[in-house]
Structure 1
Amino acid sequence: MPEEFYRIKRLPPYVFAEVNRLKAEYRAAGMDIIDFGMGNPDMDTPSHIVDKLCETVRRPRTHRYSASKGIPGLRRAQAGYYQRRFGVKLDPESEVIATLGSKEGLANLAMAITAPGDVMLVPNPSYPIHPYGFMIAGGTLRHIQTLEADGRFRPDAYLRALERAVMHSVPKPVAVVVSFPSNPTAQLADLDFYAELVRFARKHDLWVLSDLAYAEIYFDGNPPPSILQIDGAKEVAVEFTSLSKTYAMPGWRMGFAVGNSRLIGALTRIKSYLDYGAFTPVQVAAAAALNGPQDCVEEIRGIYRSRRDVLVESMARAGWDIPAPPATMFAWAPIPPAFADMGSMAFSKMLLKEAEVAVSPGIGFGEYGEGYVRIGLVENEQRIRQAARNIRQVLNDPERMLARHAPVEAAE
């Protein structure tokens, strides 16, 4: 028998596994790790959503198998959200499907539309499921660098990179993935960009998969738009959203795909073979979240905004200049100049050991993520300030820290 299974063999080593191993080791040794590594919301789910779950779960009929594509009331609730928020009209029957979080939806759509060897255009740096969902499905990846040298997203440069990728890819690419607000970089895109992207996709006969999981976690300026606001977008695009961050419901695993009816139909068919949908009481509670009072969304957004401000201010006092993210629950932080040559993995391991602070190394999001770390806004303000004090001690003595964490030279 082969030593490794085919799909497992195609996946690169999981970069975050080493950081996670060290976190567990240090905690077992009694260290108080301040963990900014995983984007795992720490707030309580709003009480009216929990109450609806409890009310529904007491009805024995809801304990049976549910609907793989989502119960009708939930799909109507998501269509209502798109109408209110974006002015986009969706058919709940053919253009909306409930998924077990946006991650599952992306992965299963990749399985539905990818033939072996198909070329997919994926962002880099990127949330790992964006490229590796297609790799698992047997596709071939073309990584598109999303940020310029100054760490900013420039739509014109990105579109030119897409054009070059299409011109030089054999076979011709099948789909392009975009994600704004972006995890991990927190960058935004506007409707002008989406209009150009839809035009580009229609010209080159490409599907567009848009990940809008952070639609409601924004801090400055206008709310992030949807690609489906562009005329003709439904001809080529499907969009994924999630309740995980919007309503602090990460463990509930509830998300959606909406848009192009052919893509939604393909995902529906794949899912019909794989699952019976989320537990019905979870779906009912999710509909209550979408249809109910929305002041909780602003409250959650305000908590993230306050944490962002505390992080940027306290880290600046510690000697680490971190750009204020305009959206998402993450800061995309350049490694301080004195430590830049270490690389993001070694820098992350050093912070873990010396400052008892966990961050995600940028290299884990793709090779173009090197030179950065991702910091999740998942600790309270007191813990953020404590982390900054710990990090300050590290940054104030770079020579000693670099000497302690210098790579071990191989013996000749």
Structure 2
Amino acid sequence: MLDLRGRLSRWVGRLAVRRIQKQGIDLSRISIIPEPTKVPLQRIGTDPVPRLAEIRGEGALHKLQLPFSFNAYLVSGYDETRTILTDRGSYSNDIRHLFHGDGPATSDDIGGLGFTDPPLHTRLRKIVNPEFTMRRLSRLEPMIDRIVKNALDEFEDAGSPSDLAKHLAFPVPFQTICELLGLDYEDREAFAALGSARFDATGGGAAAFGAVSAQREFLFEAVARQRKEPGPGLIGQIIRDEGDTISDVDLAGLADGVFTGGFETTAGMIALGTIVLLRDPAHADLMRHGSRPDVERAVEELLRYLSVVQVAFPRFAQQDMELFGQQIKKGDVLLASISGANRDPSAVGEDPESFDPFRVPKNGHLAFGHGIHRCIGAELARIELRAVFPALLQRFPDLALGVHESELSFRQLSFVYGVDELPVTF
């Protein structure tokens, strides 16, 4: 789930790969999303639109009809998605050459693990890997429990009815990531708004990349301050360990990836997961009173079922090749639909469109991606979700939606799915 920003650019983006030098196309200036590309970003409530399942049934690769005469292919089957995400040699994730210096975002705004290739990716991941081992993360559990308790206290103090997205789903991952990175909490509302805006594709590239640039400014300033006086968190630790061998751009990119991936995605999971659990009293009761294995299995099913990260990092073909029986040319874009793959009956088993907390799937879900770009914060997200759902439902056994589910403000076109508000009563 980490480091997902700006995906919008690259799939609209391959138009630049062939034409950027000739036409000067800047992805950050694109103001609309072509209609055929919207399907993997659209939903009806918590479910992908039916067209996505139809595309999956039509074949391994679905060519998107896009302007500018470039090729992009959507992959929505489980096996095909896993194959592409596993292949570290045939594709590139680097898109920095697609940005001009005078647009809403520049190449300096694009960094982090998700948009780099080996050997740079290998070096950067090696820097942050030690902080995300289970041994290191287990030390954070008391802190996360404290953050959850404090958020639930504030949620209760706000009174019923209340907005669970504002008072719980946002503060828990936000404060967790701030403490992990060593950031202060000033400007958190502005930062949160930018976090949502950068994944919103409704306004095209210009609006999303404007949010990217604004949000990165916070982190460039934080890195500059900690260069002088390293703090106790991850940013300060990297500066102490790496010194000047890591640039401000790369360090801010790492921090940005950890922050945006670990915040917006987990916030979406908490809000949407609560909606799903409240649909069936038995499911809420399982999360409330179930054993640790019960809770862990239910969280994994929520991750599969919701797939809040809807599309994986786009892959640019590095050479001409044959893929699933079709000819792919160098520079073509492969877009892997995570929400489509996680609903594939061949991998999930019976009734993949339903939430079943007792499900034992045939294969592991792809909610965190796969391969070298798999979400580095996967275990951190799991720890937070396993803490927040039981605590919420135990504390408020009569928790209920404040409006009918059809009235909720689900995001209409976003790379990271969620709700803007979640009114509840208790």
Range of TM-score over shorter length = under 0.3
Relative contact order (C-alpha < 8 Å, sep 6+): which is higher? 2
Q: Of Structure 1 and Structure 2, which has the larger fraction of its residues in helix?
A: 2
Q: TM-score, normalising length from structure 1?
A: 0.28
Q: Of Structure 1 and Structure 2, which has the larger fraction of its residues in strand?
A: 1
Greater gyration radius: 1
